[in-house]
Amino acid sequence: MKPPGRAPGAVLPAPDPWFHPFAPYLIPLALALTARVEFARKLGFAAEDAYITFRYAQNWAAGLGPVYNPGEHVLGFSSPLWTAWLALGAFAHVPILAFSRVSGVAFDLAALVVIARVLDRDVGRAPTWAFAIFFALFPLFAANAVLGMETSLCVFLLAAAAAAIFARAPAAGPLLGLFALARPETFAVALVLAWFADGRARLVAGAIAAVGLVALTAYFGSPVPQSVTAKAMTYGVGQRLFALNWIEGLIPAFLQPRWQELFEGQHLFAISVVTLPALIAGLWALGKARGPAFAIALGGLLVLAGYMVLGVPYFGWYYVLPIASWAVAVAAGLPRVVRSPLVWAALAVYVVTDAPFLGTLYIGRNQTEAKLFGDAAGTLLQASGGRGTVFLEPIGHVGWVTGLRVIDEVGLVSPDVPRMRTRGPGWYADVVRTRRPDYLVVRPALIDQNRSLAGVAPFRSFAERNEVFADYEPLGPAPTSQDALLVLARRAAGAAPAPAPADSTARPAAPIRP
């Protein structure tokens, strides 16, 4: 049986207009919009880290500059372009969550059209339908479009820049320059895309990127986001090579004696027997054609390879750009490895029926974050009235709701904290003594188990732990799990110290090993 789609090397007619009823645009666009509106309805809050960018954008729009804590010039966001875009919305007095969601959906729909046009022209109708339906329905894309992060912007700019570069359009330079400022990863990919661009596009893109980097350096002292530096120091980026969990779901083999770590990987693993051969065939075919679809596929897959080789820890939104590019290559290769319409039908049934199942992951995660961080934020706001300082991690939801000056354990907006942690055990106690925060937000494990962060124990001994917490008293209900957050407030001068934690009598006041 002849495989669906057009044979390699065939002369392809011009794509149908996007509004043609049989073109792979209107139906996928309707499905994509429906899926994203449904997630917006069920996901009541943004992603935890999105609230960090929201606060930067809100302060910027209020005239305080792109700062998290007023007066502190720390580059704690990862996407200068997305932060500036949200600041424009905040300046126009549009609710920032709503603005981010409308923007994310719009960028997603635009990316779908651009990539579908490229695939329809370069490899044929069947691959285009395959990509369009997958991108429209796979919850990784649909959920992240409304979670407030910059993922949809990155996918759109990769697609638009690649399409413009190969069309030699005047917009190629500006789009490539903006793509370079979307995230640290996209800056690296923009350098690769520049190899396909003409001299004028490179010049314009380089000028835009240079202006952005100079502005970041002038304001923050460095164009490298503190979020990158802090996460590298905390989570060990670059210290554990070949994080295979990034690709486990894409390969039909067990690379380690367990199920895949990433939930998205578990769901993609079910079809990897077909998608891995399609990926290889698609990359080969796209590479021979050397068109925009090849650049789109190559860009995101290089990001995925970088994550794996550098040992980057998993954060949900990191996966969006690589999987979008993976889907482009897989779609291009499917007609070359799948000959039976029954297999195409089976793949379609799997994608459609898997979407609501995988979607529960994002809904449950959103509800859990809202419960854990929302309760702590409400307790803090009621106690503080929005005045004072708080030492905690994570900082997104709590910092956005309370408006308190934040000292964060990871160091996203507090560069001195990871520096203190490099000195060894007792870093948490040193921060509290030095900065004297009005409030602490901690997990029970920090108190009960002296749990290490980045391999470094927060206290040197249980006696030091007791001394630090003696100056604070609990607020709100006691935590009911190890993941719940305990809110503590500094005692008023002259108040009786708090009793030592209940388990301290059974512990020696000796140095604690990290």
What pLDDT does 497 receive?
57
User: Please, are residues 489 and 436 in contact by the beta-carbon 8 Å criterion?
Assistant: no
Give the Cβ contact number of residue 188 at 10 Å. Answer: 14
What pLDDT does 71 receive?
94
The greatest distance separating any two alpha carbons of the chain, rounded to the nearest whole angstrom, comes to 86
What pLDDT does 477 receive?
77
What pLDDT does 11 receive?
46
User: Please, are residues 107 and 152 in contact by the beta-carbon 8 Å criterion?
Assistant: yes
**How large is the C-alpha radius of gyration of the chain?**
25
* 3 state SS of 453: strand
- What single string gives the DSSP state of each residue in 6-45? PPTTPPPPPPPPTT-TTSSSHHHHHHHHHHHHHHHHH--S
Distance, in Å, from the CA atom of 429 to the CA atom of 460, rounded to the nearest integer, reads 8
Give the Cβ contact number of residue 424 at 10 Å. Answer: 12
Enumerate residues 6+ apart whose C-beta is below 8 A from 84: 57, 60, 66
Cα 372–Cα 147–Cα 140 angle in degrees, nearest 5? 105
User: Please, are residues 300 and 287 in contact by the beta-carbon 8 Å criterion?
Assistant: no
The DSSP 8-state label assigned to residue 315 in this structure reads -
In the chain, % helix, strand, coil (3-state, to 5) comes to 60, 5, 35
User: Please, are residues 180 and 209 in contact by the beta-carbon 8 Å criterion?
Assistant: yes
Q: For 258, left (φ over 0), alpha (ψ -120 to 50), or beta?
A: beta
What pLDDT does 84 receive?
97
What pLDDT does 499 receive?
56
What pLDDT does 237 receive?
54
User: Please, are residues 201 and 173 in contact by the beta-carbon 8 Å criterion?
Assistant: yes
User: For every one of its 514 residues, what pLDDT tens digit does the chain have, with 9 covering 90 and above?
Assistant: 333 444 444 444 555 665 676 788 999 999 999 999 999 999 999 999 999 999 999 999 999 999 999 999 999 999 999 999 999 999 999 999 999 999 999 999 999 999 999 999 989 999 999 999 999 999 999 999 999 999 999 999 999 999 999 999 999 999 999 999 999 999 999 999 999 999 999 999 999 999 999 999 999 999 999 877 776 666 655 445 678 889 999 999 998 888 888 899 999 999 999 999 999 999 999 999 889 999 999 999 999 999 998 888 888 899 999 999 999 999 999 999 999 999 999 999 999 999 999 999 999 999 998 888 988 999 999 999 999 999 998 899 999 999 999 999 988 999 999 889 888 999 999 999 999 999 999 988 777 777 776 678 899 988 999 999 999 999 977 777 777 889 999 997 655 555 555 443 333 333 333 3
Lateral strand order in the sheet of 472-475: 405-408, 389-392, 439-442, 486-490, 472-475
Tokens of 314: 């998993």
The DSSP 8-state label assigned to residue 456 in this structure reads B
Partners of 461 in the β-ladder: 511
Residues present in the chain in total: 514
Provide the residue ranges of all domains of the chain, joining segments of one domain with +: 26-338, 365-506
Looking up tokens 């691959």, which residue turns up? 127
Distance, in Å, from the CA atom of 212 to the CA atom of 82, rounded to the nearest integer, reads 13
User: Please, are residues 49 and 396 in contact by the beta-carbon 8 Å criterion?
Assistant: yes
Distance, in Å, from the CA atom of 251 to the CA atom of 280, rounded to the nearest integer, reads 11
In terms of Cα–Cα distance, which of 138, 151, 185, 164 is closest to 327? Answer: 138
Q: Which amino acid is at 432?
A: V
Give the pTM: 0.90
Q: Which amino acid is at 254?
A: F
